Structure 1
Amino acid sequence: MAPTLDSFIHSAARQNLRQLSVIRNIALGGQILALIFFSQIRDIGLPILVLGAILALYAIVITTTWWRTFRYPVITELEFFCHLLVDILFFTALLFFSGGASNPFISYYLVPISIAATTLPLRYTWAITILSLAAYSWLLNFYLPIPALAPGHHHDGVSNLHILGMWLNFAVSAGLITYFVTRMARTLKQQEEQLTIQRENQLRDEQLLAIGSLAAGTAHELGTPLNTMKILVDEMVADQSGSNDDLNILQQQIEQCRLTLKQLVATAEGSADGGEDIALRHYFDRLFERWQLMRPGVQANIRYPDNLPDIHTRLHPTIAQSLTSLLNNAADASPDRVDIQVRWDRQHIELCIKDYGDGVSPQLRGRLGTAFTSSKPEGMGLGLFLTQATLQRYGGTVDIKPGRESGSETKVILPIQDVHAR
Structure 2
Amino acid sequence: MHSLAPATGTDKRQAIESARTDTTRGAGVRNMQQLIQLRWIAIVGQVATIAFVHFALHIRLPLAAMLGIVAYLALFNLASLLFWRSRQDVGDLALLFALLVDVAALTAQLHLSGGITNPFVFLYLLQVALGAVLLPAWAGWVVVAASCAGVLGLVAFTGPVTLAAEPARGIADPYVQGLLVCFALTAVLAAVFIGRTARILRDRDARLAGLRQQAVEEEHIVRMGLLASGAAHELGTPLATLSVLLGDWRRMAPFEGHPELQQDLDEMQTQLGRCKAIVTGILLSAGDARGEAPAQTTLAAFLDELVEEWSATRPVNRLDYRRRLDGDVPIVSDSGLKQMVGNILDNALEASPDWVGLEAVREGQDGERLRLKVSDAGPGFTEQALANFGKPYNSSKGRPGGGLGLFLSLNVARSFGGRLHAANRHPRGAEVVLELPLSALALEGREPDEPTDE
Q: Which band: TM-score by shorter chain?
A: 0.5 to 0.7
2:390 partner amino acid: G
For the residue of structure 1 that corresponds to 2:433, the secondary structure is strand
Aligned mate of 2:207, from 194, 200, 204: 194
Q: Distance in 1 between matches of 2:209 and 2:237?
A: 43
2:246 counterpart residue number: 233
Q: Distance in 2 between matches of 1:280 and 1:202?
A: 31
Aligned mate of 1:263, from 281, 286, 311: 281
Q: Distance in 2 between matches of 1:355 and 1:364?
A: 16
CA contact (8 A) 1:274 1:316 kept: no
Q: Distance in 2 between matches of 1:258 and 1:152?
A: 92
2:301 counterpart residue number: 282
Asked if residue 302 in structure 1 is aligned to residue 324 in structure 2, the reply is no
2:13 counterpart residue number: none
Q: Distance in 2 between matches of 1:152 and 1:272?
A: 89
Q: Distance in 1 between matches of 2:327 and 2:429?
A: 31
CA drift at 1:393: 1.8
1:396 partner amino acid: G
CA contact (8 A) 1:342 1:350 kept: yes
CA contact (8 A) 1:348 1:414 kept: yes
1:186–1:318 CA distance, 2 compared to 1 (3 A)? same
1:165 counterpart residue number: 178
Aligned mate of 1:365, from 375, 386, 394: 386
* C-alpha distance after superposition, 1:78-132 (max 9, x if no partner): xxxxxxxxxxxxxxxxxxxxxxxxxxxxx9xx99xx89x98xxxxxxxxxxxxxx
1:177–1:316 CA distance, 2 compared to 1 (3 A)? farther
Q: Distance in 1 between matches of 2:292 and 2:387?
A: 35
Q: Distance in 2 between matches of 1:323 and 1:273?
A: 24
CA contact (8 A) 2:225 2:286 kept: no
Alignment of 1:108-187 (within 5 A): 153=168, 160-187=173-200
1:315–1:177 CA distance, 2 compared to 1 (3 A)? farther
CA drift at 1:390: 0.6
CA contact (8 A) 2:386 2:422 kept: yes
For the residue of structure 1 that corresponds to 2:251, the secondary structure is helix
2:231 counterpart residue number: 218
CA contact (8 A) 2:370 2:438 kept: yes
For the residue of structure 1 that corresponds to 2:207, the secondary structure is helix
CA drift at 1:259: 2.2
CA contact (8 A) 2:319 2:357 kept: yes
Alignment of 1:254-403 (within 5 A): 254-269=272-287, 276-305=295-324, 308-314=326-332, 316-345=334-363, 346-378=367-399, 380-403=402-425
Q: Distance in 1 between matches of 2:266 and 2:167?
A: 106
1:198 partner amino acid: L
1:173 partner amino acid: T
1:151–1:179 CA distance, 2 compared to 1 (3 A)? closer
CA contact (8 A) 1:274 1:317 kept: no
Q: Distance in 2 between matches of 1:271 and 1:159?
A: 87
* C-alpha distance after superposition, 1:261-317 (max 9, x if no partner): 123212322679995432111000111111112204442121123x63121223643
CA contact (8 A) 2:166 2:175 kept: no
More contact order relative to length (CA 8 Å, sep ≥ 6): 2
* C-alpha distance after superposition, 1:341-384 (max 9, x if no partner): 11114211111111112221112221231112223233522111
* C-alpha distance after superposition, 1:117-172 (max 9, x if no partner): 98xxxxxxxxxxxxxxxxxxxxxxxxxxxxxxx9953xx57863222111111122
1:277 partner amino acid: Q
Q: Distance in 2 between matches of 1:359 and 1:272?
A: 42
1:157–1:397 CA distance, 2 compared to 1 (3 A)? closer
Q: Which moved more, 1:322-331 or 1:170-179?
A: 170-179
CA drift at 1:190: 2.7
For the residue of structure 1 that corresponds to 2:359, the secondary structure is strand
**Count of residue pairs brought into register by the alignment:** 278
CA contact (8 A) 2:221 2:408 kept: yes
CA contact (8 A) 2:424 2:431 kept: yes
CA drift at 1:205: 1.5
- Indicate the RMSD between aligned Cα atoms, in angstroms: 3.1
CA contact (8 A) 1:271 1:317 kept: no
